Amino acid sequence: MKNFLFLFATLCMTVTLACSSDSGTSHKTNDNTESSTGSEADANDSENDGPANIQDAMNQVQDAMKQLNDGEEVEVVNFRELQKLLPEKFNGYERTSKGGETTGAMGMTVSTAEATYEKDGRQIELDIIDTGGLGMAMMGLAAWTSVTVDREDENGYERTGKMDGYKSFEKFRKDGGSSQVSVIVDGRFILQAEATIREENQMDDLKDLIREVGPSKLSKMK
């Protein structure tokens, strides 16, 4: 979710800079009258080159969002509905916390439900994210959806593939780094289980948790 909030901040900064660069500057003359720093023609050109105010800039961003969604406005599932898919228990793990939020700005909205599961000192973090199919959000939260990855070294591996018919991404780090299993559902929902593990067979716990949530259940929530 942090990546998406950063994306929001970047877009807001872009809009602000666009509007700032489009506004004309002025200065006071010696007789305290205000004069323009540019010609009237330059001012007119400036108005035509960029958004005239914040609202125009936001409208342009929203239009870009619609184009990325093939002209459709998609309403994301509220996080409270996504939370209903969070299991209380699985494979001996118990849910110890849960949270969520639905966040929107400038035509982009994302819902996230999250939970933590613990067993024998091990902990798994689970995220269910509805991006609404927005390309920019997908790039920020799951860049692997548009690429093929297959690499391995002495510390683990990273690879894309298929899990029960859904495109998936696996990352295993036996050096104590973060390991994860993620799947993408219908080009908009991201299911991600993440944990610090040292044995490859523990990756099965991450996969089992994703199966327990049920990608097919997400597909029915559109």
3-state secondary structure the chain: CHHHHHHHHHHHHHHHHHHHHHCCCEEECCCCCEEECCCHHHHHHHHHHCCCCHHHHHHHHHHHHHHHCCCCCCCCCCHHHHHCCCCCEECCEEEEEEEEEEEEECCEEEEEEEEEEEECCEEEEEEEEECCCCHHHHHHHCHHHHCCCEEEECCEEEEEEEECCEEEEEEEECCCCEEEEEEEECCCEEEEEEEECCCHHHHHHHHHHHHHHCHHHHHCCC
Q: 2-22 and 40-49 helices cross at what angle (nearest 10)?
A: 160
Q: What is the pLDDT of residue 92?
A: 96
pLDDT, tens digit, 9 for 90 and up, residues 41-76: 454 544 444 455 555 544 544 554 454 445 556 789
What percent of the chain has pLDDT above 70?
Answer: 62
| Average pLDDT of span 152-172 | 95
- Is a pLDDT exceeding 80 seen at residue 105? no
- Rounded CA separation 222/218 (Å): 7
**Residue 195 and residue 125 share a domain:** yes
Q: What is the pLDDT of residue 24?
A: 46
Q: Is residue 73 domain-resident?
A: no
| Average pLDDT of span 119-140 | 81
pLDDT band of residue 150 (cuts 50, 70, 90) is very high
Final residue in a domain of this structure, among 68, 95, 126? 68
Q: Is residue 24 domain-resident?
A: yes
**Residue 99 and residue 13 share a domain:** no
pLDDT, tens digit, 9 for 90 and up, residues 82-99: 999 999 999 999 999 999
pLDDT band of residue 8 (cuts 50, 70, 90) is very low
CATH classification at residue 193: 3.40.1000
- Is a pLDDT exceeding 60 seen at residue 80? yes
- Rounded CA separation 209/181 (Å): 10
For residue 58, give its domain range.
2-68
Q: How many domains does the chain have?
A: 2
**Residue 84 and residue 112 share a domain:** yes
Q: Is residue 101 domain-resident?
A: yes
Q: Give the chain's mean pLDDT.
A: 76
